[in-house]
């Protein structure tokens, strides 16, 4: 296996297995995320946070409040505001008054934004398929199931939220 310049390559092999596992998962996630960031920048002149925000909005055709976007994306309201300002300037999202709360705005994709997001989403899915395609389908399925097991185990050990 080729050595990649990541956190996992810095371990000596004497660390606890759980630490090595965590670093391996982190390395895989970082490799995929960095490649997706690069491709979004190169092919769509956009960023992963912009793509993520627009993706969230595809599931809410009537729009979402900034606080909802912030919670779903696990970033601050300030981050959402900055990204939204840029997307609005580009004509990809619009701010609407929330009919249930006059103090709030809803953020919604424009027609231009929906078309642009669909194009990016198709490319994004193809990129991920290409990146994962080096593994046989049976291995991907087994890994998916094992990670589901890990996720459930993690939730059972985390403090109640």
The answer to whether position 72 is within a domain reads: yes
The answer to whether position 69 is within a domain reads: yes
> For position 101, which CATH number holds?
1.10.10.10
The answer to whether position 112 is within a domain reads: yes
- Give the position of tokens 């709360």: 101
Residue 21 belongs to domain spanning: 14-129
Q: Starting at the edge strand that comes first in sequence, how are the strands of the sheet with 101-109 ordered?
A: 64-65, 101-109, 93-98
Residue 28: both structure tokens together: 């895989």
Number of domains in the chain: 1
- At residue 102, the pLDDT reads 80
Residue range 1-29, pLDDT digits in tens = 455 556 666 667 778 888 888 888 999 99
Tell me the pTM: 0.84
- Confidence at 161, pLDDT banded by 50, 70, 90: low
The answer to whether position 2 is within a domain reads: no
The answer to whether position 36 is within a domain reads: yes
Residue range 90-120, pLDDT digits in tens = 999 999 998 888 888 899 999 999 999 999 9
Residue range 37-86, pLDDT digits in tens = 999 999 999 999 999 999 999 999 999 999 899 999 989 888 999 999 99
CA distance 131 to 82: 31
The answer to whether position 7 is within a domain reads: no
The answer to whether position 76 is within a domain reads: yes
The answer to whether position 87 is within a domain reads: yes
């Amino acid at each position: 296996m080729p050595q990649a310049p990541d956190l996992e390559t810095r371990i000596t092999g004497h660390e606890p297995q759980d630490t090595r596992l965590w670093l391996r998962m982190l390395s895989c996630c970082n490799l995929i995320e960095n490649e997706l960031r690069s491709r979004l920048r190169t092919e769509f002149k956009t960023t992963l946070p912009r793509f993520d925000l627009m993706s969230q909005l595809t599931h809410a055709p009537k729009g979402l409040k900034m606080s909802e976007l912030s919670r779903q994306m696990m970033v601050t309201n300030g981050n959402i505001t900055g990204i939204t300002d840029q997307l609005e300037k580009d004509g990809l999202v619009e701010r609407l008054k929330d009919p249930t709360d006059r103090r709030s705005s809803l953020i919604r994709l424009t027609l231009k934004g929906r078309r642009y997001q669909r194009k990016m989403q198709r490319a994004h899915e193809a990129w991920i398929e290409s990146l994962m395609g080096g593994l046989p389908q049976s291995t991907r399925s087994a890994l998916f199931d094992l990670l589901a097991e890990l996720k459930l185990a993690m939730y059972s050990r985390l403090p109640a939220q």
